[in-house]
Amino acid sequence: KNLFYNVPARYKFLKRASSEAAAAAAVAERIALSHPEVSISFTSEGEKKFYTGGDGSLISSIYSV
């Protein structure tokens, strides 16, 4: 899906898909570590990168990430 069909000026600021996926993963990891009570699953290009159970344990979230 073309998210930038009506804002072409913003499209040029996107980097490679792998760079954008890495940036999204970094944000998801921070959210997962700051909220261990929430279950988070991060998938990139069909491959599950990490999954947190949402059991409230910071240790298990750190281990999952």
Q: Encode pLDDT of 24-59 as tens digits.
A: 899 999 999 999 999 999 998 888 888 998 888 888
Q: How far apart are the C-alpha atoms of 33 and 26, rounded to whole Å?
A: 11
Q: Residue 10's pLDDT is what?
A: 62
DSSP alpha helix (H) spans, 1-65? 8-11, 17-34, 58-64
Is 56 inside a domain boundary? yes
Q: What is the pTM of this model?
A: 0.69
Is 20 inside a domain boundary? no
Q: How far apart are the C-alpha atoms of 43 and 22, rounded to whole Å?
A: 11
Is 23 inside a domain boundary? no
Is 13 inside a domain boundary? no
